[in-house]
Amino acid sequence: MPANDRAALAGGAGTERAPAEPGRIGRIVLAIRRHGLPRALYDLALKTINTVVVFKILRGVVIERPDPEFLGCPPRYTSLFLDAKMVGVFAADPGSGMTAAFVEEALSKGDECYGFLEDGRLVAYGWYASSPTRIDPPDLRVRFSDDYVYMYKGFTHPRARGQRLHAIGMTLALREYLARGRRGLVSYVESSNFDSLRSCRRMGYETFGSVYLMKVFGRYVTFASPGCRRLGFRLETAPRPGVS
């Protein structure tokens, strides 16, 4: 779930200056105020470890029932699954958050994009995959049960934020996939992304397990907790596009 953009105002007579970015100590203090001391220390520990090796803990989340609260689309928007032609047109806009390479790979494996249009402009979307999908780091991909659809790459344009479009889009897409015979949506959130984890809980997601990954001497080592087995949720190495 993307963070709000910060607009930087140029200095000068009659203008405001954007607040300076806090330093390391300032960020720690802000984290303590926002999330509490234990979580702030947890986040600091993970960041310290990642100065030496790549290490992540991914919380797997699943949702199987639409929340009626998020089934109503605001009348100013049109919500729909975008066809390949529409995705190509919108991806040409640098502000869309999509690149041509990403779109080509996603569409080639049958992924679908559910989005919101306002006066013909794309203002929010989420991608949905039915097959193993590349994550970050891109040398890995996530695999999951065929009964579920993997939700990823949610985006809302700054001008449309604060209207719960991400939650609404995900819920409407979930309803459609349930009608197609799927059991629900799966996704993951990094364990230190407390805001996104809280947002997922509000939308109705439940945490089912964790996946641990570490890169040691150029190779990835991964482990999925027992809770991941029911959903077949795990990581595997993935060749880059065009590399056998």
Q: How far apart are CA 123 and CA 2, in angstroms?
A: 13
Write the pLDDT tens digit of every residue in 34-55.
766 777 888 888 888 889 999 9
pLDDT for the residue 28: 59
Is the pLDDT score of 20 beyond 90? no
Is the pLDDT score of 8 beyond 80? no
**Tokens representing 115?**
């989005």
Write the pLDDT tens digit of every residue in 162-184.
999 999 999 999 999 999 999 99
| Domains of the chain and CATH, by start | 17-52 (no CATH), 55-237 (3.40.630.30)
pTM for the model stands at 0.83
Write the pLDDT tens digit of every residue in 50-90.
899 999 999 999 999 999 999 999 999 999 999 999 999 99
Is the pLDDT score of 1 beyond 50? no
Q: How far apart are CA 192 and CA 210, in angstroms?
A: 12
The residue among 94 and 242 whose pLDDT is bigger is 94
Contacts of 145 (CB under 8 A, 6+ apart): 183, 186, 230, 231, 232, 233
To the nearest whole number, what is the mean pLDDT of the chain?
Answer: 87
Q: How far apart are CA 151 and CA 154, in angstroms?
A: 8
User: Per-residue confidence at 19, pLDDT binned at 50, 70, 90?
Assistant: very low
Is the pLDDT score of 2 beyond 90? no
Write the pLDDT tens digit of every residue in 222-237.
999 999 999 999 999 9
Is the pLDDT score of 103 beyond 50? yes
Q: Read off the pLDDT of each residue in 108-112 and give the average, rounded to a whole number.
A: 97
User: Per-residue confidence at 25, pLDDT binned at 50, 70, 90?
Assistant: low
Collapsed DSSP state (helix, strand, coil) of residue 55: strand
Contact 160, 122 (CB under 8 A): no
How large is the C-alpha radius of gyration of the chain? 19
The β-bridge relationship of strands 121-129 and 54-63 is: unpaired
- Adjacent-strand bridge partners of 141: 134, 236
The residue among 154 and 241 whose pLDDT is bigger is 154
**Angle at the Cα of 171 (from 152 to 149), degrees rounded to 5?**
45
Q: How far apart are CA 56 and CA 216, in angstroms?
A: 13
pLDDT for the residue 16: 35
User: Per-residue confidence at 6, pLDDT binned at 50, 70, 90?
Assistant: very low
